[in-house]
Amino acid sequence: MLINKTLSIARDTQTIWDFWLDVSNDTKWRGGITKAEWTSPPPHGVGSTGEHTHKDTGILKWEMTQLDDGHSFEFKHTEGALKGSIAFFQVEPEDVGSRVTVQMRLSGPIVMRIMMLFMGGMMRRGVRGDLQKLKEILEG
């Protein structure tokens, strides 16, 4: 399942980038995330690892697989209910502020993939809501 959402935020790209790379901020704007941390030491880049704890799906371990510093990064879930899923985050300058894109290619064990068929709309609304929350925090 592919989810792709974009939103404009009235903040400069560096502010958004810095907020994203402090993964502990994920608990502030990503619904259901109760804990988020890097599990590898800095500096963080391709190959760095992290972990999210989600209230419904438990511990989700991930590894950064792509990095275009200040512009985009991608991570792949390596363990947990979303194993194999890929998340991509991008920020680009606009005339006023920045354009933010979050793309998710959701995968996982067969049971999770079946659930995604029925919950796709809810998951898309969740990502849209997460971006709206990010906007509120950064513009607030």
**Is 117 a residue whose pLDDT tops 60?**
no
Write down the CATH number for the domain with range 2-139: 3.30.530.20
pLDDT in tens, 83-100: 899 999 999 999 999 999
Contacts of 35 (CB under 8 A, 6+ apart): 27, 51, 52, 53
pTM surpassing 0.75? yes
Q: Over 60: is that where the pLDDT of 116 sits? A: no
Q: Contact, 100 vs 8, CB < 8 A? A: yes
Kindly give the pairing relationship between strand 33-38 and strand 72-79.
Answer: unpaired
Give mean pLDDT, residues 2-8: 92
Residue 7 above 80 pLDDT? yes
Residue ranges of domains in the chain: 2-139
Q: pLDDT value at position 113?
A: 54
Is the pLDDT score of 122 beyond 80? no
Query: Please, which pLDDT band fits residue 45 given cuts at 50, 70 and 90?
Result: very high
